[in-house]
Amino acid sequence: MIAALPTWVDVQFLRQLSGTLVVGALLLVVVLLFILRSLFSKLVVIVLIAAAVFALVHYRQTLERCGTDGCSCVLFGQQVHAPNCPTN
């Protein structure tokens, strides 16, 4: 493993962060729709941001189930401390 998550990063923090990033991405799309002139550029930006939002929502749902399905929680390949689980 190259790096590990800090100990203060827990499931609740990551859930809040992913929700904030989704809202920020949606605001970014709205701003870029007004700034970009080319239809192709608008479509490329929307597709890229939509893929990122899809990944964030998927992992957010995974984190919501964290702790109920066991103590093994992984976010983008990193172990995340689950609530009510002993730390190693």
pTM over 0.85: no
Distances (CA, A) of 70 to 12, 39, 66, 81: 16, 46, 7, 11
Rounded average pLDDT over 64-88: 70
Q: Is 17 exposed, middle or buried (0-12, 13-18, 19+ CB in 10 A)?
A: middle
Q: What is the DSSP letter of 82?
A: P
pLDDT for 5 equals 72
pLDDT in tens, 23-68: 999 999 999 989 999 999 999 999 999 999 998 888 888 777 776 6
